[in-house]
């Protein structure tokens, strides 16, 4: 359901105001009918498209209800002006004011809803632009510019300074500094030399590089990641809002009641039966159309968005709040969520032949600019002086760099093991039984040492996990740390289900696996590589990197934008208490939306028997269009008051 533009809303308001003030302006019936027709065609066009879509798909929605009400009022106005004898005497005054309200109120709701939704797709579009569509292919010593899609694995292409790298690959010749902040989240550019790996979307800063492509453009890591996020975001976008869900059930019933009432009066009613049947049909369609249905959700969302901003949150996808139920599980990381988020180096276990200062100095040089909290913890204790070159980033795993002519790898021990680097018996014995997080440092293919870190649990972590449990949410811990470190933190916080040594690219499969078990999954993501999992989750929560202790938004903004694009909510405080508050707020918004729907439908249901003429024979009460207009005004007022009261600032 597309929004209504500001220009269309303003035009509709002007026409509606003219119809409401028709008597004061002394408009003739023909002038009023012309204005009403223009309003029905121009202001009601979005609803006409929705009606056509409903007929095509066979599914009723809120647009269908508005369309039927508008054109029922329009038909009555035409009949009242040109053939009033077809209508009963009380219904021979055109429904101009009612028609104006029928168009304006739903248009206002659609306009407000469109204003509430942040622009979607901008981050995807920005990242897609970072992937060049052409490459400078090098063949037989000659350069030729060709489409990037025509360069397969093994193709060699040249990247000039200031250009984005088109394909994942490794440097064959040349040296340069490359900005990989998109992938690493760090702030520094990395030195690249022959043998270094580079990723598509990174920016070549200083020198000319000759790169050998690892895979074709369609399989480039950034291309696949953006497409995965796009699919997940679009899947959420097609979920119908609560208004459309209710309209799908309400619209068929309304049509049946209107037709049955008309048939009943044409069969058993007093003369003139035809006029009475046509009048009843118009009355039911106009009176029972929920005029303020389009205001119920936007009013609650507007109040909720203001409350969220006060709480340091940004709701990126208000639409999901209309259908959100309490998640069964909340998938969180360990560092900064359960823990205090500022790890400290407590011990360095050095292998024989390596001195602690040398190990830390090399580790600091390799990890500088990576942005990872563990690398920053090592850097705070390590001596300065060394400088890294030919840096290769392995997002989510570690880094490889040339430092003082030596190849240094800094990362998780399982990742080092994949490179054939394993801890010796002495190191394994020292680590046995310990649950502290660790970072391995390898030099020239051998494990030089293991940095043992400390990141204490937040004092309130266990209480916050219990508070979420009382809300009906089970916390699941997924971390890239070792099994011992993850299980120790989970045990102290009261978390039963854990996933250890989880890589970022595996989180989407983890979320999908939980969903396959029938669970509603909320996911907390803190970076670029979390974007697919955030899009996959039923409710994605992204952390603004500026909220991390000592972090900066420089360089990593594009990556954060993709995470925020994928998420439904962005929070500025990383702890379980803020997540608890976020879930409570979103659930409160959902409750208010449903309360507002009561104020939409109760007045219509009260008017329905009156419009059908049920009360006429016994009590002499005849339906008047002004009743419906008054009910709409009262409904809009109650919706506004309820939204502000329940989500007060």
What pLDDT does 550 receive? 46
Sheet holding 203-204, edge to edge: 190-192, 176-179, 203-204
What pLDDT does 235 receive? 63
| CA nearest to 370, candidates 183, 164, 501, 554 | 183
SS3 per residue for 146-208: EEHHHCCCCCEEEECCCCECCCCEEEEECCEEEECHHHHCCCCCEEECCCCEECCCCEECCCC
Residue 265, token pair as written in the block: 């009066």
Q: Is the pLDDT confidence value at 355 over 90?
A: yes
Which range among 43-47, 111-115, 236-240 shows the weakest confidence by mean pLDDT?
A: 236-240
* Residue 89, Cβ density class (10 Å: 0-12 exposed, 13-18 middle, ≥19 buried): exposed
- CATH number of the domain where residue 383 is located: 3.40.1110.10
What pLDDT does 96 receive? 84
More confident residue, 102 or 464: 464
What pLDDT does 123 receive? 56
558: left (phi over 0), alpha (psi -120 to 50) or beta: alpha
Residue 448 half-sphere exposure toward CB, CA atoms < 13 A: 21
What's the mean pLDDT in 392-413? Answer: 85
SS3 per residue for 103-139: HHHHHHHHHHHHHHCCCCCHHHHHHHHCCCCEEEEEE
Q: Is the pLDDT confidence value at 119 over 80?
A: no
More confident residue, 514 or 601: 514
* Residues 570 and 585 sit within 8 Å (Cβ to Cβ): no
Each residue of 363-378: pLDDT tens digit?
A: 999 888 676 788 888 9
What pLDDT does 557 receive? 52
Domain boundary among 219, 234, 251: 219
Q: Hey, how many other C-beta atoms are within 10 angstroms of the C-beta on 117?
A: 16
- CA distance readout (Å), 140 to 154, 156, 157, 490: 14, 10, 12, 58
Instruction: Name the β-bridge partners of 137.
Output: 144, 157
Assess if residue 376 is contained within a domain: yes
* Residues 396 and 505 sit within 8 Å (Cβ to Cβ): yes
Total number of domains in the chain: 2
Assess if residue 198 is contained within a domain: yes
Assess if residue 440 is contained within a domain: yes
Rounded CA-CA distance 444/547 in Å is 37
The band of 71, judged by pLDDT with boundaries at 50, 70 and 90, is: confident
Assess if residue 236 is contained within a domain: no
Averaged pLDDT score across all residues of the chain: 82
What pLDDT does 631 receive? 83
- CATH number of the domain where residue 182 is located: 2.70.150.10
- DSSP H or E segment with residue 5: none
Q: Is the pLDDT confidence value at 295 over 80?
A: yes
What's the mean pLDDT in 112-123? Answer: 61
What pLDDT does 116 receive? 67
Domain boundary among 194, 219, 244: 219
* Residues 119 and 129 sit within 8 Å (Cβ to Cβ): no
What's the mean pLDDT in 348-356? Answer: 91
More confident residue, 331 or 567: 331
What pLDDT does 237 receive? 56
Percent of the chain at pLDDT exceeding 90: 17
What pLDDT does 559 receive? 55
The band of 306, judged by pLDDT with boundaries at 50, 70 and 90, is: confident
Assess if residue 244 is contained within a domain: no
Angle (nearest 5°) at CA 46 between 43 and 52:
130
602 Cβ contact list (under 8 Å, min separation 6):
none
Task: Using a cut of 0.75, tell me whether the model's pTM lies above it.
Answer: no
Each residue of 56-69: pLDDT tens digit?
A: 887 777 778 788 88
The band of 193, judged by pLDDT with boundaries at 50, 70 and 90, is: confident
DSSP tag of 368: T
Residue 73 half-sphere exposure toward CB, CA atoms < 13 A: 31
Residue 398 half-sphere exposure toward CB, CA atoms < 13 A: 24
Q: Is the pLDDT confidence value at 317 over 90?
A: no
List, as one string, the DSSP characters of 317-331. Answer: -HHHHTT----SEEE
What's the mean pLDDT in 397-413? Answer: 88
Q: At what angle do helices 6-20 and 29-38 cross, to 10 degrees?
A: 160
Domain boundary among 219, 252, 281: 219
Assess if residue 639 is contained within a domain: no
| CA nearest to 61, candidates 50, 46, 45 | 50
Assess if residue 179 is contained within a domain: yes
Containing domain of residue 349, as a range?
344-454
| Largest distance between two CA atoms of the chain | 109
The β-bridge relationship of strands 474-478 and 446-454 is: unpaired
Assess if residue 255 is contained within a domain: no
What pLDDT does 533 receive? 86
Each residue of 553-580: pLDDT tens digit?
A: 333 455 566 677 778 888 877 678 888 8
SS3 524: strand
Which range among 169-178, 427-436, 517-526, 612-621 shows the weakest confidence by mean pLDDT?
A: 612-621
């Amino acid at each position: 359901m597309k929004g209504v533009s500001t220009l269309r809303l303003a035009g509709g308001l002007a026409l509606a105001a003219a119809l409401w003030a028709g008597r004061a302006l002394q408009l003739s019936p023909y002038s009023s009918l012309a204005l009403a027709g223009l309003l029905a065609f121009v202001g009601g066009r979005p609803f006409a498209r929705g009606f056509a879509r409903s007929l095509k798909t066979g599914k009723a929605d809120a647009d269908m209800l508005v369309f039927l009400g508008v054109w029922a009022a329009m038909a009555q106005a035409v009949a009242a002006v040109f053939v009033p004898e077809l209508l009963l005497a009380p219904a021979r005054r055109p429904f101009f004011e009612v028609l104006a309200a029928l168009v304006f109120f739903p248009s206002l709701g659609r306009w407000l809803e469109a204003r509430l939704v942040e622009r979607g797709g901008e981050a995807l579009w920005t990242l897609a632009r970072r992937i060049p569509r052409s490459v400078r292919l090098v063949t037989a010593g000659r350069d030729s510019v060709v489409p990037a899609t025509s360069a397969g694995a093994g193709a060699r292409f040249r990247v000039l300074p200031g250009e984005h790298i088109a394909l994942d690959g490794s440097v064959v010749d040349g040296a340069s500094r490359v900005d990989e902040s998109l992938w690493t989240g760090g702030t520094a550019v990395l030195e690249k030399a022959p043998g270094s790996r580079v990723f598509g979307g990174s920016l070549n800063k200083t020198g000319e590089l000759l790169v050998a492509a690892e895979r074709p453009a369609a399989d480039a890591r950034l291309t696949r990641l953006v497409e995965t996020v796009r699919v997940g975001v679009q899947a959420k976008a097609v979920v119908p809002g609560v208004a459309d869900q209710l309209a799908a059930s309400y619209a068929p019933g309304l049509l049946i009641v209107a037709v049955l009432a008309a048939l009943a009066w044409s069969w058993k009613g007093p003369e003139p039966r035809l006029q009475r049947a046509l009048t009843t049909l118009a009355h039911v369609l106009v009176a029972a159309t929920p005029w303020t249905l389009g205001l119920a959700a936007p009013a609650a969302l507007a109040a909720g968005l203001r409350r969220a901003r006060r709480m340091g949150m940004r709701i990126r996808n208000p639409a999901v709040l209309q259908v959100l139920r309490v998640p069964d599980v909340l998938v969180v990381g360990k560092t900064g969520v359960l823990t205090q988020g500022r790890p400290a180096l407590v011990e360095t276990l050095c292998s024989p032949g390596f001195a602690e200062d040398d190990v830390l100095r090399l580790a600091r040089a390799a990890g500088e600019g990576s942005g990872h909290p563990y690398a920053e913890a090592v850097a705070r204790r390590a001596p300065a002086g060394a400088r890294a070159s030919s840096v290769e980033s392995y997002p989510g795993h570690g880094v490889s760099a040339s430092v003082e002519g030596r190849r240094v790898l800094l990362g998780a021990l399982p990742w080092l093991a994949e490179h054939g680097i394993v801890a010796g018996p002495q190191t394994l014995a020292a680590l046995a039984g310990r649950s502290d997080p660790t970072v391995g440092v390898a030099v020239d293919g051998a494990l030089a040492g293991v940095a043992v870190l400390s990141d204490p649990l937040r004092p309130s972590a266990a209480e916050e996990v219990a508070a979420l449990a009382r809300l009906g949410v089970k916390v699941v811990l997924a971390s890239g740390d070792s099994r011992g470190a993850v299980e120790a933190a989970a045990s102290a916080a009261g978390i039963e289900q854990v996933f250890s040594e989880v890589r970022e690219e595996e989180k989407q499969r983890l979320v999908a696996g939980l969903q396959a078990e029938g669970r509603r999954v909320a996911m907390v993501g803190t970076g670029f590589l979390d974007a697919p999992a955030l899009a996959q989750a039923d409710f994605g929560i992204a952390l603004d990197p500026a909220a991390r202790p000592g972090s900066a938004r420089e360089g990593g903004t594009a990556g954060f934008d993709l995470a925020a694009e994928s998420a439904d909510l962005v929070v500025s405080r990383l702890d379980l208490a803020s997540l608890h508050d976020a879930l409570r707020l979103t659930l409160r918004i959902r409750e208010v939306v449903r309360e507002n729907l009561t104020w939409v439908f109760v007045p219509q249901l009260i008017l329905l028997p009156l419009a059908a003429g049920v009360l006429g024979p016994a009590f002499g009460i005849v339906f008047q269009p002004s009743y419906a207009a008054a009910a709409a005004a009262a409904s809009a007022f109650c919706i506004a008051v309820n939204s502000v009261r329940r989500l007060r600032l």
